[in-house]
């Protein structure tokens, strides 16, 4: 009887391990205990092995807030519009949905390239709105092209209702956002804008300095190639990055973080985990 119970226990153990293993990414090593993240949705993708290192609800469809602006920027750049063309902020660019504030006042005129930089690194909503409003065909055409671009990239669970990210109908998954980050990284203008710590624009006789919404770009401990933050109440705090961590090209997606600083804390926890001493484990020992 005891032997039968032991066999049953062993079989249950094997079945339980198989169920877990089926949901685990293939890893040539373990980094030890997985980090505890405050973000409700997370995906760490190793571009070197093309495998996820960590995943948490990565296929859940969720609002993505200003992460949207990466797609807005790609569509603008794909259109090859002159970046030195002046664009004036108007009443139409005011946020009537969430009532967010902006330092860009009505009547201010900036170059399209500066508006693009501010939309990306400072997440300026009026900048993104003005870019879409002055796009050939206007905002509706811009949004249609954003959705077409998403389909082209294989982002099957992504939908855009607007170019700014204020609408909760702008949704995606962590898995889809890895694809968007990888596509956005191919644009030098996006890489440059999203990783600079600040950007100064000349508006008439006034020089206006804007800071990056991701404080990690100012850290010497990080080697970041692309970055974008986002927040609306429906989406929580969001962060996507392409970075080199532990000498590996890595895409980090953190969505629906419950606190303002949680996304940054989670990114640092991920970095510490990946840089912890590696304990190599043979395939045989992993299936015991």
Positions marked active-site: 66, 69, 123
Determine how many CB atoms are found less than 10 A away from the CB of residue 79. 13
- Among residues 122, 55, 65, which one has the least CA distance to residue 238? 65
- The pairing of beta strand 206-211 with beta strand 109-111: unpaired
User: In three state form, how does the secondary structure of 15-70 look?
Assistant: HHHHHHHHCCCCCCCECCCCCCCCEEEEEEEECCCCEEEEEECCCCCEECHHHHHH
Q: Please check whether residue 181 is in contact with residue 142, taking contact to mean a CB–CB distance below 8 angstroms.
A: no
Phi (first) and psi of residue 86, to 5 degrees: -75, 140
Give the tokens for residue 273.
């985990």
- Among residues 133, 9, 29, 127, which one has the least CA distance to residue 69? 127
Alpha-carbon span 73 to 183, nearest angstrom = 11
- Torsion angle of C-alpha atoms 185, 189, 195, 197, degrees rounded to 10: -170
Alpha-carbon span 140 to 151, nearest angstrom = 17
**DSSP type of residue 141:** H
Report the SS3 class of residue 169.
coil
């Amino acid at each position: 009887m005891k032997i039968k119970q032991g066999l049953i226990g062993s079989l249950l153990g094997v079945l339980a391990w198989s169920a877990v293993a089926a949901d685990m990414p293939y890893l040539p090593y373990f980094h030890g205990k997985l980090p505890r993240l405050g973000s409700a949705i997370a995906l760490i993708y190793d571009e070197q092995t093309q495998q996820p290192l960590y995943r948490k609800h990565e296929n859940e469809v969720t609002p993505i807030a200003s992460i949207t602006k990466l797609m807005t920027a790609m569509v603008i750049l794909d259109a090859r519009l002159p970046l030195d063309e002046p664009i004036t902020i108007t009443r139409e660019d005011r946020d009537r949905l969430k009532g967010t504030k902006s330092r860009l006042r009505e009547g201010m005129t900036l170059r399209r390239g500066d508006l693009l930089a501010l939309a990306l690194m400072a997440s300026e909503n009026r900048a993104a709105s003005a870019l879409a409003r002055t796009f050939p065909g206007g905002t509706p055409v811009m949004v249609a092209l954003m959705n077409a671009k998403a389909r082209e990239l294989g982002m099957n669970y992504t939908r855009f209702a607007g170019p700014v990210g204020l609408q909760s109908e702008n949704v995606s998954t962590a898995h889809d956002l890895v694809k968007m980050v990888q596509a956005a990284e191919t644009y030098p203008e996006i890489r440059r804008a999203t990783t600079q710590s600040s950007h100064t624009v000349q508006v008439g006789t006034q020089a206006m300095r804007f800071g990056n919404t991701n404080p990690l770009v100012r850290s010497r401990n990080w080697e970041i190639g692309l970055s974008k933050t986002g927040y609306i109440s429906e989406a929580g705090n969001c962060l996507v990055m392409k970075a080199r961590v532990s000498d590996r090209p890595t895409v980090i997606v953190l969505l629906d973080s419950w606190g303002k600083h949680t996304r940054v804390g989670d990114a640092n926890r991920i970095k510490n985990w990946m840089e912890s001493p590696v304990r190599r484990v043979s395939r045989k020992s992993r299936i015991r």
